[in-house]
Amino acid sequence: MSQPESAVPKKKVLFRGRSNAAVANSNAEGEDSPEFEPFGPMPRGLPPLAEYLDIREVNMVNDINKKEHHTSLFSNALLIVRRAQEFQIRVTFNRAYEPAKDQFLLEFVIGSSPQMSKGTYIPVFPDPEKTRAWRGRVLDSMDNMVTVGITPAPDCIVGRFRTYVAVITPFGIRRTRRDSKRDVYVLFNPWASDDAVFLKEEEERGEYVLEESGILYHGEASDISARPWNFGQFEYGVLDACLYVMDRAQMPIVNRGDPIKVARKASAAVNSRDDDGVLVGNWSGDYSFGVAPTSWTSSVEILVTYASSRQPVNYGQCWVYAAVFNTFLRCLGIPARVVTNFYSAHDNDGNLKTDIILDEAGKVDRGRTKDSIWNYHCWNECYMTRPDLPQGFGGWQVVDATPQETSDGLYRCGPASVQAIKHGQICFPFDAPFIYAEVNSDVVFYKRDQSGNVVPVKVNSTHVGRKVLTKAIGRDQYDDITSQYKFAEGTEEERTVLQKAEEYGMGRTKVNYPETDVQVEILAQEVSVGDNFKLALEFKNLSGEQRTVNAFVNGYVVYYTGVTSDEVKSKTLTVTLDPWQTERVSVDVQADDYMSRLVEQCNLHFIVTGRVEQDSQIVSAMRVITLHVPELVVKVIGEPRVSELTLVSVEFTNPFQFSLDNVYLRMDGPGLMSPKIKHFSLISPKASEIWSDSFTPRRAGPTKLMVTLDCAALRQVYSQVVVNVKP
């Protein structure tokens, strides 16, 4: 029983007395099973094996299996099946199989140190009466060929299994030599009612599992932009990259059948913090050592680069994290979608307040205001049962791979039940209070008086979590799913939920301020980058008396994270309102004010705060104006056909008075091409450039071709065209 010292791996030396075996946490590793395993001491010479079955051929029946298991779309030569659903393997022997006399079995093995009790070694006998975890039966037996039907357990491990066929003889077990071409990927199965990720409607599975192109919503709640994305979960190399993500994160193999654990682990592993995961976050504006987050078109390039370079990929921001995570989930068979929350409270670790400090005059004190509200934030939802929670909290679960500074101290988030968040039942794992705060925080305005004393003067409880959107099923439009996160404002249910959440420690700020009878609003409008425009304010006097408002209008360039860069506008207004009067006031904003100061995604944040002379009441309003960027004109020439060269052109005109340097264009499309990149070192003011290129579609059917343009002075420029590839 003594083990030689050298058998102990060096790096594990601190754990010699700690555990019997290292936890198997790599799908890529694992020993080949021996071709002959004797039962006891062998007689001299070769055993008389001739009379026993001999295996001539093993056929994985790829075409039928992949069609029935909804895995035909994968660009992958190996068999891919889904659990809880029968697939077939055809074995040819040297002679006819005689059940009364012959004994054979199929073995599926994953990772190192396989054990039956851990579900990492799975013997399947062609006999339903010998069913252990996976069921086996003879579907057909003809001449020397036996077709075996195999049904993986509905909770079995997901990943790449090694397949063996073994024959039992009185002397030992003879098995086929390892052949990686016989490996089989087993995935989650949203089509099987006893799988934890079962989804009832075929059209839902079509969108949330099989759809490769998607839309990421961003911009502002009343001025929404829709960016196309190639999830590409079936593209060549993506499935292996997804398994590598789990291997790299050292996720124990035994946990990989549980969609809760897989989603939670991946929420950590899609970002590079803590664990050298897929994407490095960067919000600095300087992307010289990688690709700008706005430049990507597809998860494919990111995942495949990660798996081949074995290094985190530069760079991501929230929608990139969400898009890559979505690919990961759909690829493994967990139904998933990207959602966008407009005005998302952040960095406050489940605190339900975002603080804005006003100075004595009522103007925002930028130096003292530290919190920020993201204009939008993207995360994912994935669909699964939650046996770890009381009934009623299955269904869509929030997961978020964007590294947030203080979510329970770690860079991962979820899964948290959307139902639980809606009902304020935030006592259940994982990270529900944090997500609840992202959609429900109050914006609290404080006034700082002379003695440094800070008192809350106004609470806006509707600004945060204004709108939650996701792409609709089968259409390029959004579904407003805000009502899945919260009850309608002012309803009885809403009050009950707030109370419930408060019981769980989500304290709210109570402010006793006089009812306001003067209101101000910044009106929504669409503005293109480079335009001069008039910011429209509407003041309303709801009282029967005259009111005079002294207001400050301030405009700032902001990152989409709500972090403020330069001030571009500052104006003081005095507006006198007659009883019950509504008055519109406009403030001129010149392109010159902001053009040289723009950062990243061209957002201007306007805040109006003011005080009513007659009674000192505070009025305030905020709005982000998203500056629309110029368009790309994408043209596909002719009718694309499978395996035929197709021409495409992309045209872009620089609308500005200044030149654009170091411009990258990217083109991509599921089933159409691998990502293509085009670089222009300079596009002169008002100049047009055309990029002509070609591609060869790989499969028939409708798909999308997407193009992005990105340079330091101009980001989030993109376009897409629907392409219907003929066979």
- Residues in the annotated binding site for Ca(2+): 440, 442, 489, 494
Q: From CA 60, how far away is CA 42, in angstroms rounded?
A: 33
Q: From CA 164, how far away is CA 30, in angstroms rounded?
A: 14
Known binding positions: 440, 442, 489, 494
- Which of these segments, 227-235, 263-271, 573-581, 649-657, binds a copy of itself (CB under 8 A)? 263-271
Among 17, 43, 514, 544, binds a copy of itself (CB under 8 A): 17
The reply on whether position 279 binds a copy of itself by CB under 8 A is no
Among 78, 148, 173, 358, binds a copy of itself (CB under 8 A): 173
Among candidates 525, 508, 539, which has minimal Cα distance to 621?
539
Q: From CA 62, how far away is CA 67, in angstroms rounded?
A: 8
Q: Is 222 or 255 the residue whose CB approaches a copy of itself more closely?
A: 255
- Which of these segments, 78-86, 165-173, 522-530, 666-674, binds a copy of itself (CB under 8 A)? 165-173
Q: Which of residues 617-676 bind a copy of itself (CB under 8 A)?
A: none
Among 149, 252, 394, 701, binds a copy of itself (CB under 8 A): 252
What's the distance, CA 330 to chain centroid? 10
Residue 69 contacts residue 88 (beta carbons within 8 Å): no
- Which of these segments, 233-241, 348-356, 534-542, 666-674, binds a copy of itself (CB under 8 A)? 348-356
Is 602 an annotated catalytic residue?
no
Interaction mask 550-569, a copy of itself, x per CB under 8 A? ------x--x-x-xxxxx--
- We find the least distance from the C-beta atom of residue 501 to a copy of itself, in angstroms, to be 11
Q: From CA 124, how far away is CA 134, in angstroms rounded?
A: 6
What values do phi and psi take at 93, rounded to 5?
A: -100, 180
Residue 652 contacts residue 694 (beta carbons within 8 Å): no
With tokens 């503005």, the residue in question is 527
Q: From CA 528, how far away is CA 653, in angstroms rounded?
A: 14
- We find the least distance from the C-beta atom of residue 400 to a copy of itself, in angstroms, to be 15
Structure token pair of residue 549: 């408002």
- We find the least distance from the C-beta atom of residue 166 to a copy of itself, in angstroms, to be 8
Q: Is 96 or 116 the residue whose CB approaches a copy of itself more closely?
A: 116
Among 4, 5, 10, 13, binds a copy of itself (CB under 8 A): 13
* Count of positions on this chain that bind a copy of itself (CB under 8 A): 92
Is 566 an annotated catalytic residue?
no
Q: From CA 249, how far away is CA 170, in angstroms rounded?
A: 43
- We find the least distance from the C-beta atom of residue 483 to a copy of itself, in angstroms, to be 26
Q: From CA 369, how far away is CA 62, in angstroms rounded?
A: 61
Q: Which of residues 425-444 bind a copy of itself (CB under 8 A)?
A: 426-430, 433, 444
Q: Which of residues 94-113 bind a copy of itself (CB under 8 A)?
A: 103, 105, 107, 113
The reply on whether position 355 binds a copy of itself by CB under 8 A is yes
Among candidates 172, 147, 167, 174, which has minimal Cα distance to 58?
147
Residue 647 contacts residue 637 (beta carbons within 8 Å): yes
Among candidates 63, 253, 31, 257, which has minimal Cα distance to 162?
31
- We find the least distance from the C-beta atom of residue 26 to a copy of itself, in angstroms, to be 14
Residue 502 contacts residue 461 (beta carbons within 8 Å): no
Q: Is 140 or 388 the residue whose CB approaches a copy of itself more closely?
A: 388
Residue 574 contacts residue 583 (beta carbons within 8 Å): no
Catalytic residue among 318, 331, 378, 711: 318
Structure token pair of residue 215: 């839309």
Catalytic residue among 69, 218, 377, 463: 377
Contacts of 57 (CB under 8 A, 6+ apart): 91, 92
Q: Which of residues 18-77 bind a copy of itself (CB under 8 A)?
A: 18-21, 23, 37, 39
Q: Is 450 or 681 the residue whose CB approaches a copy of itself more closely?
A: 450
Q: Which of residues 495-534 bind a copy of itself (CB under 8 A)?
A: 503-505
Which residue type does 142 have? M
- We find the least distance from the C-beta atom of residue 404 to a copy of itself, in angstroms, to be 10
Dihedral over alpha carbons 521, 526, 531, 534 (to 10 degrees): -30
Q: Is 73 or 389 the residue whose CB approaches a copy of itself more closely?
A: 389
The reply on whether position 248 binds a copy of itself by CB under 8 A is no
- We find the least distance from the C-beta atom of residue 63 to a copy of itself, in angstroms, to be 31
Is 479 an annotated catalytic residue?
no
Q: Which of residues 76-95 bind a copy of itself (CB under 8 A)?
A: none
Residue 362 contacts residue 457 (beta carbons within 8 Å): no
Residue 53, judged by CB atoms within 10 A of its CB (0-12, 13-18, 19+), counts as buried
- Which of these segments, 83-91, 346-354, 518-526, 584-592, binds a copy of itself (CB under 8 A)? 346-354
State the greatest distance between any 2 C-alpha atoms of the chain, in Å, as a whole number: 112
Q: From CA 197, how far away is CA 185, in angstroms rounded?
A: 17
Q: Is 503 or 545 the residue whose CB approaches a copy of itself more closely?
A: 503
Q: Which of residues 577-616 bind a copy of itself (CB under 8 A)?
A: 599-600
Residue 678 contacts residue 691 (beta carbons within 8 Å): yes
Q: Is 230 or 561 the residue whose CB approaches a copy of itself more closely?
A: 561
Interaction mask 120-139, a copy of itself, x per CB under 8 A? ---x--------x-------
- We find the least distance from the C-beta atom of residue 524 to a copy of itself, in angstroms, to be 24
Contacts of 186 (CB under 8 A, 6+ apart): 81, 82, 83, 108, 152, 156, 157, 158, 159, 161
Structure token pair of residue 428: 């259940």
- Which of these segments, 69-77, 365-373, 376-384, 684-692, binds a copy of itself (CB under 8 A)? 365-373
Three-state secondary structure of 638-656: CCCECCCCEEEEEEEECCC
Q: Which of residues 369-388 bind a copy of itself (CB under 8 A)?
A: 369-372, 387-388
Among 446, 533, 594, 718, binds a copy of itself (CB under 8 A): 446
- We find the least distance from the C-beta atom of residue 455 to a copy of itself, in angstroms, to be 8
Q: From CA 665, how far away is CA 476, in angstroms rounded?
A: 23
What's the distance, CA 373 to chain centroid? 20
What values do phi and psi take at 31, rounded to 5?
A: -85, 150
Active site (catalytic) residues: 318, 377, 400
